[in-house]
Amino acid sequence: MADKTKIILANAEATLNLGISLGKSLHAGSVILLEGDLGAGKTTLVQGIGQGLGITESIVSPTFTIINEYTEGRLPLYHLDLYRLEPQEVAALNLETYWEGFEVTPGIVAIEWSERMPYQPDSYLSIYLTYGNEGDRLAEITPYNVGIGDWGLGTGEAGG
């Protein structure tokens, strides 16, 4: 069973910084599943991932486009937002194309409202964001079939 890591994110910059550290350490094919209420900081986290990958283009929520692709960084970033979709519509998107890299260049897949997915990849990092009492946020990070050290989190040891 995966170990859960809880991190207090005092402000938006902390959320951004968590994303940046992920963006620097993630490898191609990594999937981040983001859950949390509207305004919890999911898009902010993905903006940090983009910065960590070296993307300078501004990352905006793909609520209406479903998916935005950014190819400027160290690895492609595929940013999805499933908010408007029903599970059967999500199934029709064939999301596995993105993490299996069949028809796309393998990159980072970050999915907001991932609870709308009818299935998950074999390995992924789950990040659940909630509101704190002080206007801050709490992140619960759970790796599934992936070592948390691989993600640049926790021990502070440099990734290989």
Query: Where along the sequence are the contacts to ligand ADP (CB under 6 A)?
Result: 9, 11-12, 14-15, 36, 38-44, 112, 135-137
Shortest gap between Cβ of 109 and Mg ion (angstroms)? 15
Smaller CB distance to Mg ion: residue 43 or 114? 43
- The rounded distance, in Å, linking the Cα atoms of 132 and 73 is 32
Partner in contact with 136, chosen from Mg ion, ligand ADP, none, beta carbon below 5 to 8 Å by kind: ligand ADP
Partner in contact with 14, chosen from ligand ADP, Mg ion, none, beta carbon below 5 to 8 Å by kind: ligand ADP
Contacts of 121 (CB under 8 A, 6+ apart): 31, 96, 99
Q: Quick one: which of 42, 79, 116, 137 contacts Mg ion (CB under 5 A)?
A: 42
68 binds Mg ion (CB under 5 A): no
β 31-35/108-112 pair status: parallel
Question: What is the pattern of x (binds Mg ion, CB under 5 A) and - over residues 94-123?
Answer: ------------------x-----------
26-55: b (≥16 Cβ within 10 Å) or e: beebbbbbbbbeeebbbbbbbbbbbbbbeb
Q: Quick one: which of 5, 17, 21, 61 contacts Mg ion (CB under 5 A)?
A: 61
- The rounded distance, in Å, linking the Cα atoms of 119 and 130 is 23
The encoded tokens of residue 92 equal: 């029709």
Partner in contact with 138, chosen from ligand ADP, Mg ion, none, beta carbon below 5 to 8 Å by kind: none
- The rounded distance, in Å, linking the Cα atoms of 160 and 59 is 28
Partner in contact with 116, chosen from Mg ion, ligand ADP, none, beta carbon below 5 to 8 Å by kind: none
